[in-house]
A and B are shown apart, each in its own frame.
Chain A
Amino acid sequence: MTSSPATDPRSVAGKTLELSGGCDLLVVGAGPAGIAAARAAVETGAGVTLVDENPVPFDEMGEHVPQLWGGRMGAEIRNRTAMMERMLEVRPDLADLFDLGVDLRLGTACWGLFVNRANLGWMPGPVAGLRDAGGSSLVGFGAAVIATGRRDMGLAFPGWDLPGVIGAGAAQMLAGLNGALETRRAVVLGTTTEALLAARDLAAAGVDIAAIVEQAGAPQADAALVAEVEGQGIPVLFGEAPRGVTGDADGVTGLQLKGRAIACDSVLLGMGAVPMIDLLQAGGARTVFDAARGGFAPVLGPGGATSLPGVYAAGDCAGVWGAKSADPGIAAAEGAAAARAVLGQAAAAVAQPPEAPDLDGYRKGWVRAAVIEALEEMPVCLCEEVTARDILDVRPPRYLKAGAGRNAELSLSDILGDGPPDPDQIKRLTRAGMGPCQGRRCREQIQALLALREDLTLGAIPLAGYRSPVRPMTLAEIAPQREDPAIAEQWDSWFGMPRQWVPFWDVEPKYTVASLANRKDHVSE
């Protein structure tokens, strides 16, 4: 008699998901912070993998992943190889990392972080979900530095769904990183440092910046920077707000302000640069609203340590503020400090944000000036076509057609209860933020609308949760289809009536129930 195996080879026992490789340090995002972190770590001999989702696949850019691209991408963006070459060209320090032995993966998005916690005990260690043109894979890592950067706040006004309404940061990326911005004449909304820097750089690159528009009476950024862009011949208009756009099949042809109209082919949204915390928050890192750091940002310890063990944040995703946006050296120092912390070296001091600007009043001011004072209704959540009034009134989604009849008399807000309104609750009730753009274009506006309605600060409105995958993925990409052959061939051996009382070691190796399907004696009619 032969000895029986301890576990059934057809069972899933002991067969955790296959990891395709691993690294000591995973760096997500190849901006200044990510590059510095990768460099600092690889120079000590650590195995470093650096991933960056740029160049983003063209069809996903059309759905505003991960930035508000606004349909002003040039045709050359379809050529991914050229875009990768361009990235290495404009970021020579990225090319250097190749020579240092960093496993550099461009065009690779990180869609999920899974760090061992209560319900993830099965994993051999922390795991990241990566996705590139070839599909999805899981990669183990020892530590991670997340440097996913920032994202532009969206702002609704009539016609903001037209091609040509772009995030200011997105436009800067298209012009710099990709060299594929199809904008000739633009109006910039907002006077944040990030907006003015975008205006300055784009003007230097040959884009005609027709005006910078500010709803408030004074600029948000330093007077010196305002003077600098005014010195480039760009007028800055205060006390103005968008009322609508004119457009044709190709998108925006002009911007209508309260008091004047300006011909332009693009409107750049620069009223807010927000840390891109989706990956961290979906992975379980604690976040806090911090006006000094540009909105919801991860709770950080020494070296940029997040609340997830072994996961660090650096660069804009750890906090956006004017001085940092103006000087990439700050982000790079944060990246290097995070790498030092990962390697167990003494923590390096990094620049701290100055006293918080009036983020609350400024962002709410823009939403009030553009969305609430708009002369016609337009969607704030473009994907699901939810207007500001739908959100404030907490109206059921339109496809329910609940507006007609007696339902219209009864507002859901009647029975909403205590505490501040929660965007996750508003999302369920109105569908705002549930569309294919995964809420990137509307979440700050919804936050501001709810705060305005309740007369609360932005920070009093909870963060609408992010969920993995933080980038849309096809089912074919995420389904692994890598099974143990014993499972694949005999997966149903436990289901068969003739075999269910037979110990697994006595089941014939070639037995499968499906193979018996044509034998009538096994099928009871």
Chain B
Amino acid sequence: MTRFNAFNLLKNAMSGHKNWTEQWPDSQPKSEYDVVIVGAGGHGLGAAYYLAKEHGITNIAVIDKGWLGGGNTGRNTTIIRSNYLYDESQRLFDHSVDLWQGLSQELNYNVMYSNRGCLMLAHTVHDVQSFKRHVHANRLNGVDNRWLTPEECKEYCPPINIAKDARYPVMGGALQERAGTARHDAVAWGYARGAAARGVDIIQNCAVTAIRRNAGGSVAGVETEKGFIKAKKVAVSASGHNSMVMATAGVRLPLESMPLQALVSEPVKPIFPCVVMSNAVHAYCSQSDKGELVIGSGTDQYVSYSQRGGLPLIEHTIAAISEVFPIFNRMRMLRKWGGITDNTPDRSPIIGKTPVQNLYVNCGWGTGGFKATPGSAHVFAYTIAKDEPHPINAPFTLERFRTGRLIDEAAAAAVAH
């Protein structure tokens, strides 16, 4: 391909822009791959990257119906943390935080991971009790988390309103200092570059219409808008559309897809030092490196595939944010958007094998998939390569909804799910 510079821009401009070489190669899929990954978000691209790098499998296609990183990877509020209640979740998310620490070096691409700390505010007695339980559970597992009094919360994050008569009074907070944020698009592009450099084909704007199975029941390949692609193994990580894709292989997933909304304000100088979450109202807030306030909301209370989301919830969130951070009242909101989350009954993900041989799924991340991107991709790649789960994702089976061995972060999170 051609490198652009002012000279050849000028030269081509003079010649009527007829002499450009192809910059966007029309990558036609090959007829057969060792692994086809459905969904080019962070989890799918990351899995391709780790498959190529750690397991020597490079004959891989990552197929997406849109463009890479255009789904939830580019639509979330970029919060990274691991202060979950149950041992299984803590292992999974802390594995991810471990990988986040060195991800920029690993990918030779600045993903802007910033461990600025995540403060979860407690507004009720129940929050206080629940968060303290989290703090104890985390510390027993060596996961960093500590309890702050309202005054300590104010000291850690001065914009917080800790007045006793506030609409949502702050009764304390749980602080994980290793938590933080990263730049979401850079994560997708970092993994995509790393995978592409190792020979992985990334095929965009090509919807997978069905997963086809052999007579014996195992996976044969995928039907796409560009024709059938044979595959030894198929791995699905298509976030909000997982249940639809998997249904074509005859696998029913216990998922509900709901819109989750976020918004950004105009950029201002650095004022907000950390991530603050308020689970009771399900609002969360941080300041991006560009200076915008990034504010997240809860899932809409109905099932939908719209990437816009309803109005009432965002107003509820903003009302809460304005109350907890009165200083932000006069900041301007520039745009809001939605992404489609896939939620399991226990709000923990499913990563692993399926009843169909050589078909793997990585789904059910609900509102919290971004933080897990490196860890999830890493163990998912292991599962695909070895056809058996990594010890970290072994508990996150699809089977658990049959056996009842749930990892019930839904009840534990005290989130207004």
Residues of chain A at interface, number, CB under 8 A: 81
Shortest Cβ gap from B181 to chain A (Å): 14
Q: Are B10 and A421 in contact (CB under 8 A)?
A: no
Known: A400-B183, A417-B205, A452-B17. A389 touches B9 (CB 8 A): yes
Q: Quick one: CB contact mask for B245-285 with A, threshold 8 Å, 1 for yes?
A: 00000000000000100000111000000000000100000
Is the C-beta of A402 less than 8 angstroms from some C-beta in chain B?
yes
Q: Are A467 and B335 in contact (CB under 8 A)?
A: yes
Of residues 289 to 310 in A, which have CB atoms within 8 Å of B's CB atoms? none
Q: Are A468 and B189 in contact (CB under 8 A)?
A: no
Of the candidates A372, A392, A431, A479, which one forms a contact with B319 in the assembled complex, judged by CB atoms under 8 Å apart?
A479
Shortest Cβ gap from A387 to chain B (Å): 10
Known: A469-B336, A480-B315, A513-B125. A119 touches B67 (CB 8 A): no
Residues of chain B within 8 A (CB-CB) of A407 are 108-110
Q: Are A417 and B27 in contact (CB under 8 A)?
A: yes
Q: Are B4 and A393 in contact (CB under 8 A)?
A: yes
Q: Are B304 and A476 in contact (CB under 8 A)?
A: no
Of residues 27 to 69 in B, which have CB atoms within 8 Å of A's CB atoms? 27, 67-69
Is the C-beta of A486 less than 8 angstroms from some C-beta in chain B?
no
Residues of chain B within 8 A (CB-CB) of A476 are 322, 329-330
Of the candidates B67, B193, B280, B315, which one forms a contact with A492 in the assembled complex, judged by CB atoms under 8 Å apart?
B280
Q: Are B110 and A401 in contact (CB under 8 A)?
A: yes
A415 and B128 alpha carbons, distance in the complex (Å): 48
Segment of B306-314, B386-394, B401-409 in the binding face: B306-314
Q: Are A410 and B312 in contact (CB under 8 A)?
A: no
Residues of chain B within 8 A (CB-CB) of A469 are 333-336
Is the C-beta of B1 less than 8 angstroms from some C-beta in chain A?
yes
Is the C-beta of B321 less than 8 angstroms from some C-beta in chain A?
yes
Is the C-beta of A419 less than 8 angstroms from some C-beta in chain B?
yes
A429 and B69 alpha carbons, distance in the complex (Å): 10
Q: Are A112 and B311 in contact (CB under 8 A)?
A: yes
Closest to A60 in B: B332
Shortest Cβ gap from B207 to chain A (Å): 12
A284 and B308 alpha carbons, distance in the complex (Å): 9
A468 and B333 alpha carbons, distance in the complex (Å): 9
Is the C-beta of B318 less than 8 angstroms from some C-beta in chain A?
yes
Segment of B18-26, B137-145, B347-355, B377-385 in the binding face: B18-26
Residues of chain B within 8 A (CB-CB) of A388 are 9
Q: Quick one: CB contact mask for A105-130 with B, threshold 8 Å, 1 for yes?
A: 00000001010011111100001010
Segment of A170-178, A261-269, A514-522 in the binding face: A514-522
Q: Are A475 and B265 in contact (CB under 8 A)?
A: yes
Segment of B76-84, B85-93, B196-204, B228-236 in the binding face: B196-204
Residues of chain B within 8 A (CB-CB) of A16 are 312
Known: A119-B310, A488-B167, A497-B125. A368 touches B67 (CB 8 A): no
Of residues 406 to 439 in A, which have CB atoms within 8 Å of B's CB atoms? 406-407, 410-419, 421-422, 424-425, 428-429, 431, 435-436, 438
Q: Are B13 and A475 in contact (CB under 8 A)?
A: no
Q: Are B329 and A475 in contact (CB under 8 A)?
A: yes
Closest to B288 in A: A399
Of the candidates A389, A415, A472, which one forms a contact with B334 in the assembled complex, judged by CB atoms under 8 Å apart?
A472
Is the C-beta of A235 less than 8 angstroms from some C-beta in chain B?
no
Q: Are B185 and A428 in contact (CB under 8 A)?
A: yes
Known: A418-B203, A436-B267. A122 touches B125 (CB 8 A): no
Closest to B319 in A: A479
Q: Are B70 and A425 in contact (CB under 8 A)?
A: yes
Q: Are B18 and A17 in contact (CB under 8 A)?
A: no
Question: Which 5 pairs between the two chains have the least Cβ-Cβ distance?
Answer: A417-B204, A476-B329, A472-B332, A467-B335, A479-B319
